[in-house]
Amino acid sequence: MNGDCLFCKIVAGTIPSKPLHEDAELIVIPDINPQAPLHALVIPRTHIPTLNDMTADHEALVGRMFRRAAALAKERGFADRGYRTVFNTNREAGQSVFHIHLHVLGGRFFSWPPG
């Protein structure tokens, strides 16, 4: 737990949220500023600031983040239509919360290359 971290506070319940899913390792919440009809954040309970801080110890955890994203997309009917999963890392990618989170976006067409 990092006392200055927004997502640690959400994980701890200090800041209330309405999780779409919770388990021992992950919490999934709707993004406060959704960029698509489905825009959720898959957040590990463990504080890892950026993907650069991921170690071999986190491999199973990050794998579970992706499987949870796929499960959510399937639940919402986007598995076959398509959806996007995104990690933003540091300034040029637009990371604004420094506790890793996997964006899961679905329900519209996404351009490539991304903006």
Output the smallest distance, CB 36 to Zn ion, in A: 24
Cβ-contact 66, 76 below 8 angstroms: no
Q: What angle do CA 90, 4, 67 make, to 5 degrees?
A: 55
Instruction: Find the catalytic residue in 21, 47, 101, 103.
Output: 101
Sole binder of ligand 5GP in the list 19, 21, 31, 61 (CB under 6 A): 31
Interface with Zn ion by CB under 5 A: which residues?
2, 5, 7-8, 47, 99
Measure the CA–CA gap between 25 and 29, rounded to whole angstroms. Answer: 14
Q: Is there a catalytic annotation at residue 58?
A: no
42, two tokens: 């898959």
The residue ranges that bind ligand 5GP (CB under 6 A) are 6, 17, 29-33, 41, 88, 94-97
Return the active site residues: 101
